[in-house]
Amino acid sequence: MAKISNTTAGKLDSYSKSSNSNSLHKQIFDVLDNDGHTNPLLTPKQICKLLDLSYKKYHSYVSKTVWEWKYYCRNERGSKCSSLHCFKAKVRLDLGLSQGLRGVVASEGELGVLGFGWVRSKSKNRFWMWPSRLGRVVWFESGTVTLHVRRPGNLGKAKQLFCDAFVNTGLLTDMKLLNPVLERIRPKSGHFPYSAGERLPYMVIRDFELSHGIVIKVGDRTHPDAVEVIASFSQTMDGALDKLERLEKNELKNAEALLKITGILSSLFGVDSDKHVAKGFGGKEYVS
């Protein structure tokens, strides 16, 4: 049960003795606000007891006011996500582009130190890391880049972090190459804590980890008074998105190749390319 401070209890006594009946709504809000330390767990019965009100007479009005305090959009009170953290995003660079950029970074270094602010890790994956005030960028040999954004994180900060590491350092200067990469950056995972206002028993729920990429932690050491939802793309979903990106790239390349071939044939045979394509669908041009 949530506790009320002595100062707040004194205020409640004075409110309950007030002759202004219109102040009851404010009294209930003040109890729930509790001098800036919200009490979303208070029940209407507890509020009536604190305000010295008849529960039988006022329970409907108090319940309605509590609902308004919690859910009315203008008030924006109640339990809500306070600090999105551990936000991660990822993008896969074209292997040729990644290898070319890594070659430039290695050539700009001195005495085993990488250039452009990149640091070589001692991990078996041999990834490179670029630290920043916004977080850190991890770059693997496969071309995968993961963006670890400091709290509070979001996709916009992840894109800014990528630009700081690759563009603002002068490593990647071609905007035609940059724009498609920024469009492919997608969220990978994040932690969403929701405060309950009191210490909760420890529990971890992993029933939806494989199917939906969701883990729920209650009362752990980092957030003892909160329910923490850890949401991430499962490996199956992540792999499917990677395959979809590769298919889209291949379709784009095939379309570009077809356009080039059509242009070559048009120049060789002196045929307008638009008319040539139209004939492929049949029409009066083939009727003698």
> pLDDT tens digits, residue range 159-211?
999 999 999 999 998 888 888 898 888 888 878 788 887 788 889 998 888 87
- Residue 228: inside a domain: no
CA distance 176 to 168: 16
Same domain, yes or no: 101 and 143: yes
Same domain, yes or no: 67 and 85: no
Mean pLDDT across the stretch 138-147?
Answer: 92
**Dihedrals φ, ψ of 234, to 5°?**
-70, 165
Same domain, yes or no: 110 and 165: yes
pLDDT at residue 147 is higher than 90: yes
Tokens of 168: 């603002």
> 118 pLDDT band (50/70/90 cuts)?
very high
> 138 pLDDT band (50/70/90 cuts)?
very high
- Residue 197: inside a domain: no
The torsion angle over the Cα atoms of residues 45, 49, 53 and 56, rounded to 10 degrees, is 30
> 287 pLDDT band (50/70/90 cuts)?
very low
How many structural domains are present in the chain?
A: 2
Strand duo 135-139 + 128-132: pairing: antiparallel
Domain final position from 22, 37, 71 = 71
Same domain, yes or no: 122 and 26: no
User: Sign of the CA dihedral 277, 281, 285, 286?
Assistant: positive
How high does pLDDT run on average in the chain? 75
- Residue 24: inside a domain: yes
The per-residue pLDDT for 241 is 62
Same domain, yes or no: 186 and 86: yes
The per-residue pLDDT for 226 is 82
What whole-number percentage of the chain has pLDDT above 90? 19
Same domain, yes or no: 67 and 91: no
**Between 263 and 31, whose confidence is greater?**
31
> 130 pLDDT band (50/70/90 cuts)?
very high
- Residue 95: inside a domain: yes
Lowest mean pLDDT among 11-25, 108-122, 158-172, 206-220: 11-25
List all residues 6 or more positions away from 209 whose beta carbon is below 8 Å from its beta carbon: 215, 234
Same domain, yes or no: 64 and 19: yes
pLDDT at residue 9 is higher than 50: no
Same domain, yes or no: 93 and 36: no
- Residue 168: inside a domain: yes
The per-residue pLDDT for 113 is 82
Would you list the DSSP string of the chain? Answer: -----HHHHHHHHHHHT-S-GGGHHHHHHHHHHSTTS--TT--HHHHHHHTT--HHHHHHHHHHHHHHHHH-TTT--SS-B---EEEEEEEE--HHHHHHHHHHHHHT-BTTB-STT-EE--STT--EEEEETTEEEEE-TTSEEEEEEPSSP-HHHHHHHHHHHHTTTSS---HHHHHHHHHH-EEEEEEEEEE-SS----EEE-TTHHHH-EEEEES-SS-TTEEEEEEE--HHHHHHHHHHHHHHHHHHHHHHHHHHHHHHHHHHHT--HHHHHHHTT--GGG--
- Residue 248: inside a domain: no
Same domain, yes or no: 85 and 184: yes
Put simply, whether the predicted model's pTM sits higher than 0.85 gets the answer no
Domain final position from 159, 190, 221 = 190
The per-residue pLDDT for 76 is 46
Range of the domain at 120: 81-190
Domain final position from 170, 190, 210 = 190
List all residues 6 or more positions away from 105 whose beta carbon is below 8 Å from its beta carbon: 114, 115, 116, 118, 128, 171
The per-residue pLDDT for 255 is 64
Asked if omega into 224 is within 30° of 0 (cis), the reply is no
> 4 pLDDT band (50/70/90 cuts)?
very low
Same domain, yes or no: 40 and 139: no
Same domain, yes or no: 107 and 181: yes
**Between 14 and 63, whose confidence is greater?**
63
The per-residue pLDDT for 180 is 87
> Sheet of 226-232: strands edge to edge?
119-120, 128-132, 135-139, 144-149, 85-92, 186-195, 226-232, 214-218, 203-205
- Residue 159: inside a domain: yes
Same domain, yes or no: 50 and 130: no
**CB–CB of 15/45 below 8 Å?**
no
End-to-end distance of the chain based on CA atoms, in angstroms?
92
- Residue 59: inside a domain: yes
The per-residue pLDDT for 140 is 93
